[in-house]
Amino acid sequence: MGGFLPDHHVPRHLDRINQRFGPDDPVKEMAALHKQFDLFSGQHSLKDVFKVLNIASVENWAHRRKWFDYLEYLKGCPSDKKGQNGHDRILTALKQNLESKQPAAVHFTSHSSSQNPGVFVKKGHKPLHYSTQAYLTLSLPMTRIEKDRQRRRRRSGR
Amino acid sequence: MPTSVDSGRGLGDIHATIQAYYDQKLQRYGATPLGVDWTCLATQELRFVHLLKLCDFSTAFSLNDLGCGYGALVAYLTKYHSQAEVDYLGVDLSAAMVRRAKRLHQRQGNVGFINGSVSPRIADYSVASGIFNVKLHHSLVSWERFVRRTLVDMDATSRRGFAVNFMAPVPRGQSSPVELYRTTPDAWASYCQEELGCSVEVLENYGMREFTLLARPERLAYRHRRPRPLAHP
């Protein structure tokens, strides 16, 4: 994850989000929360919204902070929408979905930033090979820390 | 199904286990929504939105908050109803929660907290958020006795009405932890109407698998003159 979190904590964080945006009750609750508090309207950063939703580690405060740092880092990432950064792309995709008549469950996943450096969104996607459930899929770019270190070393000529 | 008879006796064990449960939560998670067993601030506040539909914010009023925890409702009122004049009293079984609430809100006027199971004063309104949800190991019969007792007390200490929320049943085929108390609106709405003489509004389908009862005394004028005496357990 580019050094923000230890590798083995990344699935846990993605799972935390997916639990809160999952099919049926969770996504209905999220739509209700958005309707009431305008969570994804763009007035608040993802970091602030995820704080209010408590989608972050509660056991390890260093990981919690790093996760929020990663959400901020997405402001500097591109997205599949021209002119929109990864952070804002997530906000607008969630807003549109939660304000639709039938909000779809949302699945957060990751991909290698070496293949695609930006956030991308897929609608009506079935990302789980064991499930027929369609999701709005949001894929977050992540980097192997070793690779990043090598790049850093190459850049600095060491 | 709730019954009308309610002795109020034998709730000591329930109160003690509730207190221990929330003391432990507070110790682990601090004065946060998780510390009072809510997922997050947003869901906690959405419940306040519905409970407070009971209140008329155009005039000053007094409010009892039963199971107040660390006083999250005070922060909510400050954030969303800063113009409203609310004389607030939080009541909680956990002395640790009350201490934390007092510390957090010590600088706010018209705000008080006490340790107990029932409000010592009659206020315009009373609210209770989530206090019936976690029944722990108690039997359904004992828990419903606790619910009845609490509703009777809330009714007796509210001039203009009270509001409570409950978790609704999960769909067939899904399971729910046995420690949770889930019920349908009909049972408790009927209890408040028939036994407490209230008119009841049921709020549901607001994005959560739960419902809120807004209970208002039908004979407001009578209630203003002669508040029903408290029957302590």
The domain ranges of chain B are 12-225
Dihedral sign for Cα atoms in the order A78, A83, A88, A93? negative
Q: How far apart are CA B143 and CA A6, in angstroms?
A: 44
Task: Indicate which of B26, B37, B40, B175 best probes the interface with A, i.e. most A CBs within 10 Å of its own CB.
Answer: B40
CATH for the B12-225 domain, from 3.40.47.10, 3.40.50.150, 3.40.50.880, 3.30.530.20: 3.40.50.150
Interface of A with B in 46-65 (CB under 8 A): 52-55, 58
Checking if the pLDDT of B47 tops 60, the result is: yes
Cα within 13 Å of Cα(A94), Cβ side: 34
Q: What is the pLDDT of residues B92-113, one digit of tens each?
A: 999 999 999 999 999 999 999 9
Contacts with A36 from chain B: Cβ below 8 Å: 45-46, 49
Checking if the pLDDT of B200 tops 70, the result is: yes
Chain A interface includes B39 (CB < 8 A): yes
Chain B interface includes A41 (CB < 8 A): no
**Following DSSP, what letter does each residue of A88-110 receive, concatenated?**
HHHHHHHHHHHTSSSPPEEEEEE
Q: How far apart are CA B58 and CA B158, in angstroms?
A: 18
Chain B interface includes A32 (CB < 8 A): yes
Contact A36 B46 (CB under 8 A): yes
Average pLDDT over residues B118-135: 97
Contact A58 B34 (CB under 8 A): yes
Contact B40 A58 (CB under 8 A): no
Q: What is the pLDDT of residues A4-18, one digit of tens each?
A: 888 888 888 899 999
10 Å CB burial of residue B229 (0-12, 13-18, 19+) is: exposed
ipTM of the complex: 0.85
Residue A10 is encoded by which pair of tokens? Answer: 């990344």
Checking if the pLDDT of B26 tops 70, the result is: yes
